[in-house]
Structure 1
Amino acid sequence: MHSPAAQPNVAAEMPPQKQQVQTKRPAIRIRIRWIAAIFCLALFASVVLYHTNKPLPEGLSFESKAYYTGSVSFLQNLSFERGGERVYEDQIYAAWAEAIARAEHWIVLDTFMLDGYQDRDAGFPPLTKEITDKLIKQKERYPELRLIVITDEINTMYGSYPAPAVERLKAAGAEVFFTDLDKLRDSNPLYSGFWRIFAQWFGQSGRGWVPNALADTAPDSTLRSYMKLLNVKANHRKVMLTDKTAIVSSANIHDASAYHSNIGFQFEGPILKDVWKAEQAVIRMSGGPEIDLDFTKAGLASNKGIVATADYKFARPDRAQIRLLTEGKIADRVIRSIDEAKAGERIWIGMFYLADRDIVKALLGAAERKADVRLILDPNKNAFGQQKTGLPNIPVAAELTERSDGAVKIRWYKTGEEQYHTKLMLIQKQEEAIVIGGSANFTRRNLDDLNLEADLMIEAENGSKIVGEVEGYFERLWDNRDGVYTLPYEAYDAKLPFVKQTAYAIQKMLGFTTY
């Protein structure tokens, strides 16, 4: 038998230099891949870290001087049941209309939403058109009046289409500024890091093909618009400023939100210059010009009325000390005020979203010190007739109840298809009270210099008119006076299904939330 022919040893026949080259190539390719992976991770990490911690644009996170005034009033919109029927009371929209009608020199409107779209057959009132009509009419009445509108890109679904109300105001001569949200810190850093590196360069405009989540009558959106939306940050302020008055509230100019329960404060005097200072900062951040409003012509050139100390003893019970707070300065004042609450003093909070961990901790501490803590919360169960998950208020309420052994008292607002959209706190001390209210929910996104927010802080005697108005509001809702406003804590099951509990824990850890 013949033995099989021996197979040639190819490697042995190769020159030594060629063998070394072939051996090195896979190792080189592996090293290149590792270097590329490390570079990509380093780039991603640097983008995330920078845009999470970058300096705030000039003028944000602002606290005004304190002003001593008798010109501050409480506004409330309430949706509730009486005699088995839904009743709606409005003070905020009426105050907006009156403020517009009185303006002669300027109107500055900074509003998160300016949107008239609603679902078919929803039947909400045309709030956006009504306010837009009033603004245009006043501009026609006073052609030299400066009409300045600052708003959020949500009204164009982040660039998918023009906003009808905004376009009407532009045509009437309004100066319109869409807030540059990219200048704000990232609240969903892992997602926003990806978006900033790979997606932001393609823009959002174009022919939409994705159904609009805001309303079925709104134009379809581009997928790129939804990708920007997932950064979840906003100019969430609700401020109206004229040469006569200012209104800071929790209410949006949005048809589908027209029946929400909201609160607001109307005030006058030299503090209006500080309100404008906070608004000019947003315009500047968004690439707009420095605008000179003539406060002398409006009779607001003087700073008369500034109070030098928060310990000022009010000479008259109808007087109050007021400050404008924006962004993180709201959290500073809220947490400090709760931390100072003593035994027997009462803390009232009415809130759409309550989730901030520092505030939860402060409330538990106040309850442990025997302060009387009472919360009225939206159950987060519906929005415009659509079911929601109950996050974050139901698990947070359960935590507060359990950890305080029931010392934190909670009632749920009895909503219909609307929301209890209020953002309000009242702390009643032995002799005086602190009120803080406006646009800011008590959540990380609203209080940690991520969103743009605006609240008014009021300090006054317990017997003052403004404190009496706010106290009366809370007592009316808590005791269901002249209607059905709130339900006991037990009305909503505090235990979420395991899947939702897990989702809440992950959201809380990573920041992937819409609240």
Structure 2
Amino acid sequence: MSNIKKITKWISLITILSLIILTAVFHFTQILSLPSGVHICKTSPISENEIRLLLDTTAFNPKTNKRVIHQENFKEILFLIKRAKDFIYLDFFLWNNFQGSTSEDYRKVSLELATALINKKKTHPKIKILVLTDPINRIYGKMEPQFFHHLVDAGIVVVFTDLSYLVDSHLIYSIPGQIINEYLSKVPLLKRLLEKPIFPNLINQDSSKISLKQLSQILFFKANHRKLIIANTLDNQWKMIVTSFNPSDSSSAHSNCGLLVSGKIVKIALSAELAGIEWSAKNPKNILNNKQGEVNKLLFYLRNYIERESFKQKTFQQKRKTTVTWLTEGAIKDRLLEMLDKTKKKDEVRIAMFYLSDRRVIQGIKKAVLRGANVRIILDANRDAFGHTKNGIPNRPVAAELIRLKKIGKTNISIRWADTRGEQFHHKAICIVNLITQKYQFMCGSANWTRRNIADLNLEANLLVEGAPEVSKRFIEYFDRAWNNKDGLNYTVDYNTVAEKGWNLWWKTFIYYLQEKTGTNTF
């Protein structure tokens, strides 16, 4: 009997070790083969006149008991479409009319965007319009909103990102998920079972049920999380908006931040973006209505267009050198850590963030505080997600960790929570300023500061602007207004209002660490 127990133990041990090794090898192999257009850091000189900060702000008016919403990102997106001349390129993560579990009547931004593009194509039939989006908008099957088909009918090409090219972030689920999708789904009998819609729709509860195959795709938690639009305009300028805004109805009340830029950096970004189109379009199933020939024509057209265009740097009388950097995926993390590592005493660091969980970034913030930089952070409380109530992970345990620096006498860090009422504080921004040394750094875009977002897992896009005081000053004005709840509006609440303590903090901290390391999370 004892021999049987020993054999069982050895078999169990070997099985566990084999799974660990197999998972590690599989994950490492994926990392070695990142697709083109990923992890890019390219800088271009720019005039401050070619940069605009776009802010979407949501506050609560206690007198009227209503939200006060001011939005610039979507307004400028629609205006850019209106002013476009030869082409429009869009890459947005969430672009749908899914309501989640809430009954709130949101603005129909998804349809507004689709309608604007269709109208543009009708009035300017020769304009080229290319769309890249995430397969979450078709719930990893064929359940996309009808307006996508209307886009195609109007002559607009729609491509869904092929997420199989991306590294799996969910270390535990990675191998069984691949087995379901790559092998079992090819067996005829199993294929029918896997594609039978029997599960509740986790993404759009108003829709029909989903299949095991769709569910298995959801559990990978992969995404093309980028949010941007590029066009050349009637005055022959190349313009781009890189933002945290999603044209999703249930996201329409969120606070967001974006940058509108023009010049050579737009060409750099478009070249990188087209790489994603190229490898996604290799599988015709990723092209709505299988218009592979149209995709190839558009790629050829845009590649040639990029080569034809020359960007002579305009001469401006500026007191300082201003640059803009196109950052994607892990390159965002590299530059962010560099920015934090170079902070000094009297540097003013302002962070507005939806998700903060990456361990190296957290350590970078701590070190900045220890060096004497004044750090202020506004965080989303992570309690609202499309009608669902969340548990505060990761921001609440992370905030508790950072605020503990006060216990060792570091009073130069402060945290407040966004006072959200069903919407999200969806910013992903950092501003570092030192008036003495004339340092002005501002970065924003699609990337949350999590392992999934800035470790070459999700597709992400940010812009970093340096030497642009007016951009930084405008963000500071907004940040300080929100911090101090100016104009009789409630933007934020004190740290202790939401802070976790005791047992709740302990178990949430444990879950946060576990999820961040293994990828078993949605942040």
- The answer to whether TM tops 0.5 is yes
Which residue does the alignment assign to 1:116?
A: 97
Which residue does the alignment assign to 1:479?
A: 484
Is 1:88 the counterpart of 2:75? The answer is no
1:98 to 47, 59, 79: 79
Aligned 8 A contact 1:249 1:438 in 2:
yes
Shift of 1:478: 1.2
Secondary structure of 1:64's match?
strand
Shift of 1:468: 1.7
Secondary structure of 1:87's match?
strand
- Farther-moved stretch of structure 1 (290-299 vs 368-377): 290-299
With over 3 angstroms needed to count, the CA separation of the structure-2 counterparts of 1:202 and 1:76, relative to structure 1, is farther
With over 3 angstroms needed to count, the CA separation of the structure-2 counterparts of 1:162 and 1:486, relative to structure 1, is closer
1:344 to 343, 346, 350: 346
Q: Partners in 1 of 2:497 and 2:66 — Cα distance?
A: 20
Shift of 1:175: 1.4
Q: Which residue type is aligned with residue 304 of structure 1?
A: K
Aligned 8 A contact 1:67 1:306 in 2:
no
Secondary structure of 2:53's match?
strand
1:370 to 363, 367, 372: 372
Q: Which residue type is aligned with residue 434 of structure 1?
A: Q
With over 3 angstroms needed to count, the CA separation of the structure-2 counterparts of 1:51 and 1:180, relative to structure 1, is farther
Which residue does the alignment assign to 2:42?
A: 64
Deviations 1:224-255 (A, max 9, x none): 21111111110000010111321000011100
Q: Partners in 1 of 2:87 and 2:328 — Cα distance?
A: 22
Secondary structure of 1:177's match?
strand
Aligned 8 A contact 2:379 2:415 in 1:
yes
Is 1:505 the counterpart of 2:487? The answer is no
Deviations 1:367-408 (A, max 9, x none): 001100110000001123321000000000000011353532
Q: Which residue type is aligned with residue 353 of structure 1?
A: Y
- Farther-moved stretch of structure 1 (447-456 vs 187-196): 187-196
With over 3 angstroms needed to count, the CA separation of the structure-2 counterparts of 1:485 and 1:387, relative to structure 1, is same
1:493 to 485, 496, 499: 499
Which residue does the alignment assign to 2:439?
A: 432
Secondary structure of 2:52's match?
strand
Q: Which residue type is aligned with residue 153 of structure 1?
A: P
With over 3 angstroms needed to count, the CA separation of the structure-2 counterparts of 1:443 and 1:264, relative to structure 1, is same
The alignment-based identity, stated in percent, is: 32
Which residue does the alignment assign to 1:222?
A: 211
Secondary structure of 2:332's match?
helix
Q: Which residue type is aligned with residue 33 of structure 2?
A: P
Q: What's the Cα RMSD here? A: 2.8
Q: Which residue type is aligned with residue 50 of structure 2?
A: S
Aligned 8 A contact 1:355 1:392 in 2:
yes
Deviations 1:326-346 (A, max 9, x none): 111111111101110100111
What is the number of equivalent residue pairs in this alignment? 478
Q: Which residue type is aligned with residue 255 of structure 1?
A: D
Q: Which residue type is aligned with residue 331 of structure 1?
A: K
Deviations 1:268-302 (A, max 9, x none): 12222112112111112213548144699799822
Flag structure 2 segments of 5+ consecutive residues without an equivalent.
Answer: 186-190, 234-238, 283-295
Q: Partners in 2 of 1:437 and 1:443 — Cα distance?
A: 14
Which residue does the alignment assign to 2:458?
A: 451
Which residue does the alignment assign to 2:427?
A: 422
Within 5 A, what are the aligned runs for 1:404-415?
Answer: 404-405=406-407, 406-415=411-420
Deviations 1:310-335 (A, max 9, x none): xxxx9526973212111111111111
Q: Partners in 2 of 1:351 and 1:149 — Cα distance?
A: 27
Q: Which residue type is aligned with residue 471 of structure 1?
A: I
Aligned 8 A contact 1:113 1:253 in 2:
yes
Flag structure 1 segments of 5+ consecutive residues without an equivalent.
Answer: 1-25, 308-313
Within 5 A, what are the aligned runs for 1:93-492?
Answer: 93-118=74-99, 119=101, 121-203=103-185, 206-244=195-233, 245-288=239-282, 289=296, 291-293=299-301, 301-305=309-313, 315-316=317-318, 320-405=322-407, 406-429=411-434, 430-461=437-468, 464-482=469-487, 483-492=489-498
Deviations 1:110-158 (A, max 9, x none): 0001111215732111110111000100011111111100011101111
Is 1:54 the counterpart of 2:54? The answer is no
Q: Which residue type is aligned with residue 48 of structure 1?
A: F
Deviations 1:152-191 (A, max 9, x none): 1101111152342322211211111111111111111221
Which residue does the alignment assign to 1:23?
A: none
Q: Partners in 2 of 1:39 and 1:419 — Cα distance?
A: 41
- Farther-moved stretch of structure 1 (294-303 vs 389-398): 294-303
With over 3 angstroms needed to count, the CA separation of the structure-2 counterparts of 1:428 and 1:120, relative to structure 1, is closer
Secondary structure of 2:482's match?
helix
Aligned 8 A contact 1:377 1:413 in 2:
yes
- What TM-score does the superposition give when structure 2 sets the normalisation length? 0.85
Which residue does the alignment assign to 1:20?
A: none
Deviations 1:36-87 (A, max 9, x none): 9699749834653445533211221112232222211000111111233211
Aligned 8 A contact 2:45 2:321 in 1:
no
**Max radius of gyration: which structure?**
1
Q: Which residue type is aligned with residue 90 of structure 1?
A: Q
Aligned 8 A contact 1:433 1:460 in 2:
yes
Secondary structure of 2:463's match?
strand
- What TM-score does the superposition give when structure 1 sets the normalisation length? 0.86
Shift of 1:262: 0.5
Aligned 8 A contact 2:327 2:461 in 1:
yes
Aligned 8 A contact 1:436 1:457 in 2:
yes
- Greater helix proportion: 2
Q: Which residue type is aligned with residue 267 of structure 1?
A: V
Q: Partners in 1 of 2:355 and 2:55 — Cα distance?
A: 18
Secondary structure of 1:125's match?
coil
Secondary structure of 1:503's match?
helix
Q: Which residue type is aligned with residue 221 of structure 2?
A: V
Q: Partners in 2 of 1:180 and 1:294 — Cα distance?
A: 20
Which residue does the alignment assign to 1:77?
A: 56
Deviations 1:427-470 (A, max 9, x none): 10320211110000011110000000000110115xx3222211
